[in-house]
Amino acid sequence: MTTDGRFVLDGSIGVRMIDGSEAAIGDFFDRVVLLVNVASACGFTGQYRGLQVLHSELEGRGFTILGAPCNDFLGQEPGSDEEIRAFCESRFGVTFPLLSKLSILGGDPHPLYGALQGMDAPIGGRVGWNFTKFLIGRGGVVRAKFVTETTPGSRVLRREILSAIEDS
């Protein structure tokens, strides 16, 4: 937490993209990011469609979705990275970036999710299920957390995304 009470992610946290390339979360700090833990065999998998709509609509304004496949919730993301990518592209036309499958729960969560879950609620806190969303403003400021049931078409989510875009 910064001295002004904001939660800021460490930009050096490494992430592996679904294509196997390496990056750091800071590589996305020039954009407003909606980080979403995703799964292909979940009752909420249809949210991919709305996520792609949001990404397509707002990408030109400095916004992106960042999908984080995770198999921690009842094994609902069992595929390999290549299978996940093919599923997302063929079923939902996903063009937004996807991370390599990672772990969120347990004793060794991915450092990105370890940091997010280590922040105080309501901004941070434990991820309860697939399709939990973290809104990260430019510069890595964590602005909000949205539960699974908050759909990509939600007015509340859209309002917060637009506010983050306009604030930067």
For residues 27-46, average pLDDT: 97
Model confidence over 64-103: pLDDT tens digits?
999 999 999 999 999 999 999 999 999 999 999 999 999 9
Distance CA 68, CA 149 (A): 17
pLDDT at 6: 75
The pTM assigned to this predicted structure is 0.96
Catalytic residue among 13, 23, 41, 42: 42
Identify the CATH assignment for 7-167 out of 3.50.50.100, 3.40.30.10, 3.40.50.12280, 3.40.50.2300: 3.40.30.10
For residues 112-140, average pLDDT: 95
Catalytic-residue membership of 42: yes
pLDDT at 2 over 80: no
What are the residue ranges spanned by the domains of the chain? 7-167
pLDDT at 106: 85
